[in-house]
Structure 1
Amino acid sequence: MSISQQRDGARPKARGTDRSVARRAELIAIGRRLFADTSYDALSMDDIARQAHVAKGLIYYYFQSKRGYYLAIIQDSVADLVTFAASGIQLPQVDRVQRTIDSYLRFAEHNQAAYRTVVSGGVGFDAEVHAIRDSVREAIVATIADGAYGRTDISALARMGLFAWVCSVEGATLDWIDRPAQLTRDTMCELLVKTLGATMRAIEELDPAFPAPAPARRDG
């Protein structure tokens, strides 16, 4: 070991950590593709290792178990959903809300197995999956509130109204991904935007401190 390495013993470790983080992220990306349209029970660890072209022990090294691997994939997937849904802060209020709903539907459409797992709460009562689902619900409520009201510290009534709408969206989205030929994503998005508008008008009626955003004007 060189003198410089002795003075800065963290450097080799940091490089190893960077490689580990990158390798873990790579495995999660592979898992997201494998589980995109395949249920948890349909893939064994042998199947996953073979399709990912890695040793099964490597997956155990980073995630301890198949369930640990799957939870990491779900957490990574919903983090992308929340991050994208919360972007576009430069957009007008109504456009930002519509972008949030569209990104939510895109996620459900392209990550159907993970979406079903999160919304249904896993197999039986899975506390960790329930926690992920609850965090997504609260994040979407906060994103909608920020886009519609310009704030996330809303009243209990406003939060309950938005929360009820999010829960209804989950059920409608599950039905939509099961029968995609019935409605296009654009039509589904427009429908959910309008039902959100109705929810916000009800919130405004009961709590005038939270007025519904004015509808977007359509030129022509």
Structure 2
Amino acid sequence: MNISQQRGSTERSQVRRAELIATGRKLFADTSYDALSMDDIARHAGVAKGLIYYYFKSKRGYYLAIVEESVAELVARAGSDRDLPTAERVQRTIDGYLRYAQHHQAAYRTIVTGGVGFDTEVQAIRDAVREELIATLAEGAYGRRNIPLTARLALIGWMTGAEGVTLDWLGHQELGRDAVRELLTRLLRATLRTIEELEPSCPAPSTTP
């Protein structure tokens, strides 16, 4: 096989893998992990079960790949719009976060709660995404990711509170997304002002919404 053929084979493999992950995200959005067998997944994907094992080794490997893909999308949303003013960027970041949770509820719950049972690998992915989101918030507020411990703890407190609010909202949704975004934005504003009081080296942005 020449280099061109190898490249074509690799690209087709990447496309097929991406297609399987996309199918899995749809399936796990509506059905619990335990309720789906590999036979179910293969049938919905229109492929032989062996192909899923080839790419992901196991059902759990497939599930973890789906979670990682979901995390990458969530982090990408949070890190976008870097050139916007702070206030508008915060609004868009929180709205993108809520929009993702609303349209990918099963994936969001998996990311936030740590997956199926006590799954250390999924929890590690969850911890990593929290760290990235905290760093993104710090960068947006202070222009840097490395912040004092007090500031970091306060932002972690806001982040875990935002997760709790979002999870509860997904279960009811009497409020529209705009109202929840405004709530989380105001809570973040209060958090940044508290940080400034306790850690003068981290002044609250004057353009905080």
TM-score surpassing 0.5?
A: yes
Q: Is the 8 A contact 1:37 1:111 kept in 2?
A: no
Q: What amino acid maps onto 2:131 in structure 1? A: E
Equivalent residue, structure 2, for 1:102: 95
Equivalent residue, structure 2, for 1:127: 120
Equivalent residue, structure 2, for 1:37: 30
2:13 corresponds, among 14, 20, 24, to 20
Q: Is the 8 A contact 1:93 1:148 kept in 2?
A: yes
Equivalent residue, structure 1, for 2:180: 188
1:55 to partner: Cα distance: 1.4
Q: What amino acid maps onto 1:117 in structure 2? A: T
Q: What is the CA–CA distance in structure 1 between the aligned matches of 2:71 and 2:45, rounded to whole Å? A: 22
Q: Is the 8 A contact 1:200 1:212 kept in 2?
A: yes
What secondary structure is seen at the aligned counterpart in 2 of 1:41?
coil
Q: What amino acid maps onto 1:187 in structure 2? A: A
1:192 to partner: Cα distance: 0.2
1:112 corresponds, among 81, 95, 105, to 105
Deviates more, 1:196-205 or 1:29-38: 29-38
Q: Is the 8 A contact 1:119 1:170 kept in 2?
A: yes
Equivalent residue, structure 2, for 1:68: 61
Any gaps of 5 or more consecutive residues in structure 2?
A: none
1:129 to partner: Cα distance: 0.4
Q: What amino acid maps onto 1:211 in structure 2? A: P
Q: For residues 108-152 of structure 1, give each alpha carbon's deviation from its aligned partner in whole angstroms, at most 9, with x where no partner exists.
A: 111111111121112332111011100110111111111111111
Answer yes or no: is 1:206 the counterpart of 2:162.
Answer: no
Which one has the largest radius of gyration? 1
1:58 to partner: Cα distance: 1.0
1:176 to partner: Cα distance: 0.6
| TM-align CA RMSD | 1.5
Q: What amino acid maps onto 2:85 in structure 1? A: P
Q: What is the CA–CA distance in structure 2 between the aligned matches of 1:38 and 1:211, rounded to whole Å? A: 45
Q: What is the CA–CA distance in structure 2 between the aligned matches of 1:89 and 1:14, rounded to whole Å? A: 34
Q: What is the CA–CA distance in structure 1 between the aligned matches of 2:15 and 2:181, rounded to whole Å? A: 35
Q: What amino acid maps onto 2:6 in structure 1? A: K
1:43 to partner: Cα distance: 1.5
Equivalent residue, structure 2, for 1:155: 148
Q: Is the 8 A contact 2:86 2:207 kept in 1?
A: no
Percent identity reads 62
- TM-score normalized by the length of structure 2: 0.95
Answer yes or no: is 1:81 the counterpart of 2:70.
Answer: no
**Matched pairs, number:** 209
- TM-score normalized by the length of structure 1: 0.90
Cα distance change on mapping 1:36 and 1:123 into 2, 3 Å: closer
